Amino acid sequence: MTRLLLALLLLPALAPAARADGTLSCPTLPSLLDRYVQLHVETHSIDDAVIDRAIERYVERVDPSKSLFLEAEVRDLRTRLRRFMADVKKADCTGLDAAKEMALARQKETEAWYRKALSDPKLEIDKEVSLEVDADHRAFPKTTAERDELRRKMMHFQLANYVTSGTELAEAKKLLVHRYELITRRVAEQSPTDLYASFLDAFASGLDPHTSYFSADALEDFRISMNLSLEGIGAVLSTRDGYTVVQEVVPGGAADREGTLKAKDRIIAVSQGRDGKPTDVIDVALRDVVRLIRGKKGSEVKLTVLRKEPTTRTLNVVITRDKIDLAEQAAKLRWQDFEAEGGRKLKLAILELPSFYGGRGPEARRCDEDVHKLLDEARAGKADGLVLDLSRNSGGLLQAAVDISGMFVKTGPMVAIDGSDRQPQELFDEDAAVVWSGPLVVLTSALSASASEILAGAVKDYHRGIVVGDERTFGKGTVQNVVNLPAGFGALKVTTALFFRPSGVSTQSAGVAADIVVPSGIDLDTFGEKHQPGSLATRSIGAFASDDAKGGWTPVAQPVIDALAARSAVRQAKDAEFAKVRERLEKARKSAGAIKVGDLLAEGKSAEDVEAEAEGEKKSEEPSPQAKEALTILADLVVGVGTLEATNR
């Protein structure tokens, strides 16, 4: 299948009708829209359902906070966009221009509303205001009065964000007015190319969350983000509901070493330096936010972030920009002395693999080579058992996941890739050597995604070890290909296939279920691939696990897992740290939805407080409660407690 995909991607990338200056034009759109559905794993024609999803994604981009348009105006906008989808086939994009003018008119009116409201010298922050932050949980206002009330709530929430980041109220009012001036200017200055790129990306994301369009500028940003020598803070960012959201803190990066920034934090302001003036970045284009955050090695950037844990508060995080340190990001081996039940002394190893990294060239560092050496070290050090920690691993190189999976079994297929119009392709570990044959526990979490789910799934399906962690992993089980377009046109990123475990089930949406649940506190009711708008459903193919993988290691039987799970549940029920995990999760679920401005102000902390907290966290090298429990489960497996109890049942 790989050769077929490569052949497909080498077809002419763009039909004629490209502009001489190398930028998108209206006549180029139909061929690009068709190319998406030609390549996509599931959607192969532009039908009414595809058009409706594209329109919804576009409306979300135009009015992410649902404070511009009334419900009736949104219906009108959808009608205009539906007409545009028919007209664009005839190279007529006037409907998209009309949609822009609608948005610009409403943005000017919104700016005027804020300017008038904030000009009142007697205006104070209303601490009693309560706002539903997630726009997905809000409907578009039906009347002008409803829209004004939503804007009033948003205004007090925004002012509170400024004040908690150290800005005086009078200055916060000026900054908020200026922010809406900038938004109006950005909408007004959108070029036709910007409009077409925005619509293409909305259309693409309507197919699934991982299909997208890269404009020429966005493609450059994407390539920079893939370069480990990037000077910045070391974080993967995305945009949602007008917020810049931390998707992942890159292991070994500046933010990771500083220790405060976390996944799901919402960045609401960026300051150049510790004492710089904050620039509000709510509703600011992600590309512009990234440019504010990037900078030269050694310079400081201050991020004001909004965090919900379980109550919402703002934090000021000062990060010294740096290059990502590969030594910090690489796989590591730690040792843990452990006294098992019955007093037996054990020597356990923990292998942390933060990502499936790798590069080209003789000097490039590769995770499969690093892991092989560390497994050799664990074996030479006479480890009684091994915990493979994938709890922060969000993926990386597919082949590396296949190769590392094969280090725990003999030979056989580790994963299959299945597109829409060809037979599934099985990816094999062809090396019959078993690098680690001893007891194995794989620690995962809801953050474990993509390639890490392939490895965890192979271990589970071959009964090679025990998967421990959150009830399920993230569930990102799709394959994307980037189709480069002629210079100046950017690229298409398209989901072309799904991953499948040796049992034949896909990791897409479903993730990999833990054999023994050890919760991290992430709310699985809201987090994960299955909760992404437009995410593809899971599906199955025939099982393809091979008996050739067996030999040299002891399969873990289900009765043993059940016995160990029962023991773990008893420990967790009595453990104070897991009680705190459950308490935080329960509070987060109860407080989900509206945020009270008074609570936000009360929870605000200074940069000094945050730094003190971060220093305290960094000084602690104690394993997490989840890692401790994984070690205890491993110890039970090593000494055979689970086997004995399973036999006695």
pLDDT one-digit tens code per residue, 43-92: 999 999 999 999 999 999 999 999 999 999 999 999 999 999 999 999 99
With contact defined as beta carbons under 8 Å apart, do 540 and 504 qualify? yes
The predicted model gives 558-566 an average pLDDT of: 97
Residue-level pLDDT at 612: 37
Q: Are residues 266 and 364 in the same domain?
A: no
Domain membership flag for residue 606: no
Asked if residues 325 and 354 have their Cβ atoms less than 8 Å apart, the reply is: no
**Residue 365 within a domain:** yes
Per residue in 341-385, pLDDT (tens digit) is 888 999 999 999 998 988 776 777 889 999 999 999 999 999 999
Asked whether residue 83 falls in the same domain as residue 202, the answer is yes
616: helix, strand or coil: helix
Across 2-16, 114-128, 218-232, 459-473, least confident range: 2-16
- 426 in a domain, yes or no? yes
Question: What is residue 434's predicted lDDT score, i.e. its pLDDT?
Answer: 97
pLDDT tens for residues 99-113? 999 999 999 999 999
Which residue range forms the structural domain that includes residue 447?
326-481+497-601+624-648
CA–CA dist 636, 640 (Å, integer): 6
Is the separation of the CB atoms in 287 and 325 below 8 Å?
no
Res 398 pLDDT > 50: yes
Q: Tell me the mean pLDDT in the region 273-282.
A: 88
pLDDT in tens, 406-445: 999 999 999 999 987 678 999 999 999 999 999 999 999 9
Asked if 65 and 157 sit in the same domain, the reply is yes
Residue 315 reports pLDDT greater than 50: yes
> How far is 140 from 143, CA to CA, in rounded Å?
9
Query: What percent of the chain shows pLDDT beyond 90?
Result: 59
Whole-angstrom distance, CA of residue 228 vs CA of residue 624:
28
Q: Flag whether 581 is in a domain.
A: yes
Pair 306, 426 in one domain = no
What is the pLDDT at residue 23? 73
CATH number at residue 629: 3.90.226.10
Lowest mean pLDDT among 119-123, 314-318, 605-609, 627-631: 605-609
The answer to whether residue 128 scores a pLDDT higher than 60 is yes
Among the candidates 275, 305, 323, a domain finishes at: 323
Compute the distance between CA of residue 409 and CA of residue 392 in angstroms, rounded to an integer: 23
Q: Same structural domain for residues 458 and 406?
A: yes
135 in the same domain as 26: yes
Residues 47 and 119 in one domain: yes
Report yes or no on 608 lying in a domain: no
Let me know: does 392 contact 360? Beta carbons within 8 Å: no
> Is 221 part of a structural domain of the chain?
no
Q: Residue 243 belongs to a domain with what CATH number? A: 2.30.42.10
Our count of domains for the chain comes to 3
Any residues with CB less than 8 A from the CB of 577 and at least 6 apart, and which? Answer: 625, 628
Confidence of residue 617 (pLDDT cuts 50, 70, 90): very low
Q: Which of 262, 289, 323 is the last residue of a domain?
A: 323
Whether 188 maps to a domain, the answer reads yes
Asked whether residue 487 carries a pLDDT value surpassing 90, the answer given is: no
Q: What is the pLDDT at residue 1?
A: 29
pLDDT range class, residue 9, cuts 50, 70, 90: very low
157 and 250 in a common domain:
no
Q: What is the token pair recorded at 42?
A: 């599931």
Q: Kindly indicate the confidence band of residue 245, based on its pLDDT and cuts at 50, 70 and 90.
A: confident
Instruction: Give residue-wise pLDDT tens across range 14-40.
Output: 333 334 345 788 999 999 999 999 999
Claim to verify: residue 548 and residue 631 sit in the same structural domain:
yes
Residue 318, pLDDT above cutoff 60: yes
Both tokens assigned to 128: 């009693």
295 lies in the same domain as 346: no
Place of tokens 């000084």: 619
Q: Out of 292, 323, 354, pick the residue that ends a domain.
A: 323
Which residue in 569, 568, 558, 570 sits closest to 643, CA to CA? 558
Indicate if 68 and 167 belong to the same structural domain. yes
* Beta pairing partners, 292: none
Mean pLDDT value of segment 567-575: 96
Cα–Cα distance measured from residue 623 to residue 629, given in angstroms and rounded to the nearest whole number: 10
Q: Are residues 200 and 250 in the same domain?
A: no
Question: Is 9 within a domain?
Answer: yes
Taking the mean position of all CA atoms in its chain, how far away is CA 12? 32
